[in-house]
Amino acid sequence: MKKSLPVLLMLSLSVILIVANCTPTTTTNNQVVMLGDSIFALSGEIANELRRLSGQTYRSYYVSGAEMEGGTVTPIPTQYTQARNADRNIRTIIMDGCGNDIQIGASSQCTSGSVTTACKNALQPALTAADNLFKQMRADGVKNIVYMNYFYIMNANSKPAFNWMHDEMAKVVQKYNGLIVDPMPYMKDSYIGPDRIHPTTAGSQMLANLIWDAMKANCIEQPSGCTPSSSSSSTSSTSSSSSTTSSTSGGGCN
């Protein structure tokens, strides 16, 4: 039996509306800025996942190879200066940093399998630069500093220095009441790529979910009426999720 033309038109319109309603939409939030190095910049997958989770696009200034102090590419404090020069109205910073200060800047002192006095001295400028950066952010009125700390890397000679810097950076972030997202308990070998340093796609999605879950728990860049988790803290991540689909928002299509 043939369907009448009006019925067919109505069915076609319904299909179009369903497809349209299932197209994720994003808005640009210039008050959120992402800074850092190749953990963010190499694949861009962490930012992509945050876009899916939040329904928003954040301003990004991260650069592969970036160090906290010095280096041959734009260092992280300069990334912040660039972001501020473009638009001073910055409410939230999402960032990582200091890994390349070990791998590149202090490689001759910090890749011997132990953390020597020479290694600590070589990394001190990076810690000082981080301290100055956070101090400047607070002076500029940045409300939220979300720092993703480092996970272990699969290089036995560099791992002790990364672990030491992980703990030292946590102290600096805590000094300025920043939110630390700590991937160390959730990272596993399968989340690290063939270069033994950078996250895989699954690893990037896991890291983005850790960041977003911590932001939700602390009501950072969340809808009005958000209530902080009773176990949340301004100085540590409360997320325990390693799922790549554990968080949803209005930006997704469910």
Q: Is 92 helix (H, G, I), strand (E, B) or coil?
A: strand
Query: So what's the pLDDT on residue 18?
Result: 43
Average pLDDT over residues 163-176: 97
Query: So what's the pLDDT on residue 249?
Result: 44
Contact 197, 155 (CB under 8 A): yes
Q: What is the phi/psi pair of residue 108, to 5°?
A: -70, -25
Each residue of 194-203: pLDDT tens digit?
Answer: 988 899 999 9
118 confidence band (pLDDT: 50, 70, 90): very high
Residues facing 32 on adjacent strands:
92
Structural domains of the chain in order of their starting residue, each with its CATH number? 26-217 (3.40.50.1110)
Q: What is the pTM of this model?
A: 0.83
Each residue of 29-67: pLDDT tens digit?
Answer: 999 999 999 999 999 999 999 999 999 999 999 999 999
Burial label, 25 (beta-carbon count in 10 A; 0-12, 13-18, 19+): exposed
Residue 1 pLDDT exceeds 80: no
Average pLDDT over residues 232-254: 42
224: left (phi over 0), alpha (psi -120 to 50) or beta: beta
Mean pLDDT over the full length of the chain: 86
Average pLDDT over residues 210-222: 97
Each residue of 75-86: pLDDT tens digit?
Answer: 999 999 999 999
Residues facing 146 on adjacent strands:
94, 179
Residue 13 pLDDT exceeds 80: no
Query: So what's the pLDDT on residue 26?
Result: 75
102 confidence band (pLDDT: 50, 70, 90): very high
Residue 142 pLDDT exceeds 60: yes
Query: So what's the pLDDT on residue 151?
Result: 85
Q: Is 66 helix (H, G, I), strand (E, B) or coil?
A: coil
The residues, any chain, with a CB within 8 Å of residue 191's CB and separated by 6 or more, are 199, 200, 202, 203, 206
Query: So what's the pLDDT on residue 244?
Result: 39
